[in-house]
Chains A and B, each alone.
Chain A
Amino acid sequence: MSDYIIEVNNLVKKFGDLVAVDHINFQVAQGELFGFLGPNGAGKTTTINILCTLAKPTSGKATVNGFDVVRQQNQVRQSIGLVFQDPSLDERLSGLQNLRFHAMVYNVPASVREKRIEEVLKIMELWDKRSNDVRTYSGGMKRRLELARGLLHYPKVLFLDEPTIGLDPQTRNRLWEYILELKRREGTTIFLTTHYMDEADKAERIAVMDYGKIVAMDTPDRLKRKVGKDVITVKTDDNTKAAEEIGARYQIEARRDNDELVFAVEHGEKFLPKFIREFGTKILSVSLRHPSLDDVFLKLTGREIREEEVSDTFKAMVRQHGRHMRR
């Protein structure tokens, strides 16, 4: 057995003509917090579905905890915990009943079952609400219950597929405290997908995914350093003229973003005073930013990941709403 808890070799998944996952390779070390970053439809969820045996790969090989995801499905399933993008609780049962069901199917021995359930419910601060039906829970409580459930059987790997989607910022932060605490205490390997940059920043290593391919893989810091430069955003009274001037004076191409110009320079702190002093076009506002994962993503794919975020939250809202209507 190797040191890696997840190993993926030349993995491909096609849906008809669409190549959702296109020959990807990566390894995740024991105890690592590994993140998949990319816009919706990049193939993150498809990859997770293959790793947790919900989908079969078209070709290639993947192992989790040393078990093949196609040939040793039950062993893989026993090794992993999952928090899905969409809720997967039985809302007609209580929190406690949901966890008991999970403990039974995952063969948590009856002798430790109740103690373990109490433990995870207390970590997630749901112990007081344990007997209430899940449908009365808030979005954040449901997520916490799913996280509690994912931990119940001591999984080697915890998969979190967009774990904070549709949650308010406070709940997101709380959830992250739990996740990081869990990693500290149990040393669980965590495999995360997200399109939130700040969440991806918490990962020890990130694979950036776009159109089914992994376009970069490294620590967040090193990825940012690869983009290298600091980002200057400037607003002038004539952006066309200003862009020309930037090109002529510094040999840098500035990109238009609405009514602003964005360009990258080395050592932004030193550049900025000089720039303001000598620039010919009238500057209305200027700001300096060190590179973020947003910039990494933009550089790698030519697109901004944020554009997807709003429509996504909206979709989640519509989905929730639709559910309530049907009940």
Chain B
Amino acid sequence: MNNLRGIYTIWYRDILRFWHDKVRLVGAIFLPLLFLFVFGSGFGGMMGNLGSGVNFTQFIFPGIIGMTVLMSSFMAGISVVWDREFGFLKEVLVAPINRASVAMGKTLGAATVAMIQGSIIMLFAPLIGVALTATTAAAMLPLMFLLAITMGAFGVLLATRIRSMEAFQVVTQMLLFPMIFLSGVFVPLDEAPAWMSNLTKINPATYGITSIRQVALGETSGTTFGVNLFGQTMSLWNNAGILAIIGAVMILLAMWSFRNQE
């Protein structure tokens, strides 16, 4: 009960801060929207079909939804660094709540904000000519959430060990772009060279992006863009399962690391 209250309070503050800061909302959805219109509507027509009757715009749309969620939740860890720098973290650390629940609250806060941003991008589907039924959209949400939790916890984990905001930004950018490029947001992974293909398989984001795409495009056509692991094409449930395992490990590491900081 005590822990739930702690998680809720930490989460609540992050949402309150997000609501306070409208510029952040606009800023966070600007880049994905730009990609959506430039790559989707703009270059999309030049690319033609990618096979399985899916055009480039349709292909990239779930990828960019996933990217929005991934970027937002991962970068949200900076609030921990921010709080340390401006002193508020002390107020949190001396409070009579479990530190593991602080890490959990932070992760959930990051995930919630990322979900709001990802859902806003979803609303742009009709504008770029992607047909999205309510059922499909609803089915994408849990996978987006799983990805958001995983990356949110990863961000919190890094934030417990990185002391300055500048360093946090450098480190997250260095990880963020390789993760995005090697997760199949922009290009199908199945024709990637072997070395690249191996990197995509150890990239947690791959399983998030692929599973969201499998839901958005339907699993049969989705398998064309899927991941091969141990000579087997991974199903939606396989991908979601791997993502869930990585997510659980990230949360545990974030909690452990948060508890062991002075």
Contacts and interface: CB of A to CB of B under 8 A. Distances in A.
Interface of A: 52-56, 74-75, 77-78, 80, 82, 84, 86-93, 97, 101-102, 104-107, 149, 323
B94 A107 contact: no
A101 B9 contact: yes
A86 B90 CA distance: 10
B262 interface: yes
Interface of B: 2, 5-6, 8-9, 12-13, 16-17, 20-21, 83, 86-98, 262
Given A52-B94, A93-B17, A105 B86 contact: no
Given A93-B17, A101-B13, A77 B88 contact: no
Nearest to A133: B20
Contacts, number: 71
B113 to A, nearest CB: 14
Contact of A92 (B17, B91, B98): B17
A105 B16 contact: no
A130 to B, nearest CB: 15
Contact of A107 (B5, B87, B90, B262): B5
A209 to B, nearest CB: 21
Interface of A is mostly: loop
B11 to A, nearest CB: 11
Contacts of B92: 105
A77 B95 CA distance: 6
A106 B83 CA distance: 19
23 contacts: A52-B94, A54-B90, A54-B93, A55-B262, A75-B96, A77-B94, A77-B96, A86-B90, A88-B87, A89-B87, A92-B17, A92-B21, A93-B16, A93-B17, A93-B20, A101-B13, A102-B95, A104-B5, A104-B8, A105-B92, A105-B97, A106-B95, A107-B96
A88 to B, nearest CB: 4
Contacts of A54: 90, 93-94, 262
